[in-house]
Amino acid sequence: MDKKKKRSIIRGIILLVLACAIIYTIYNSATKEKVEALADGDQAPDFELVDLEGNTHRLSDYKGQGVFLNFWGTWCEPCKKEMPAMERQYQQFKDQGVQVLAVNIAQSKFEVQNFVDQYDLTFPVVIDKTKSVMQAYNVGKLPATYLISPDGKVKKIPPGELSEQQIQSFMESIKPE
């Protein structure tokens, strides 16, 4: 009866492979969105953008320090609420090894400068003119915050608007050891 066993095994393998392939495909199809996004633990893509004074900022410039990376726009209400809190916490943490980098989504220098002046922001503000960084970070709704640990990895991506308390604890969490 060896042949019978062999036949069963072959059939079983074929059916199993087919079933797995189908389940894998369905799983992929269902999780398509999440796979494309940046996840905790991934290396944060390095980038180079220019600020309002014309200085170049690289993410890698801040290696060794924690980076509170924030994507924003002047029309976005929650961003307006967040910014003053971010500024205050920045003052607390900037000498403790945590930097803030605010990336504006392709708006005019006029609008960005106005906003910076209005809210008295002192942390570096850069403009993503071509939206390339925004795409690489898969930014959807604004504000989008990415907490980057001193080793350059994405530690956490807290969604939506953050309260001052949350900003404080997040900045605390990315302080270098």
Question: In whole angstroms, what is the distance from residue 97 CA to residue 36 CA?
Answer: 31
Question: In whole angstroms, what is the distance from residue 168 CA to residue 92 CA?
Answer: 9
Interaction with another protein in 137-176: which residues (CB under 8 A)?
none
Which is closer to another protein, CB of 132 or CB of 169? 132
**Residue 53 found at the interface with another protein (CB under 8 A):** no
Q: Annotate each residue in 60-99 with x if it binds another protein (CB under 8 A) or - if it does not, as one string.
A: -------------xxx------------------------
Strand blocks (E) in 59-142: 66-72, 98-104, 125-127
**Residue 37 found at the interface with another protein (CB under 8 A):** no
Contacts of 112 (CB under 8 A, 6+ apart): 52, 74, 104, 125, 127
Given candidates 40, 42, 46, 151, which one binds another protein under the rule CB under 8 A?
46
**Residue 43 found at the interface with another protein (CB under 8 A):** no
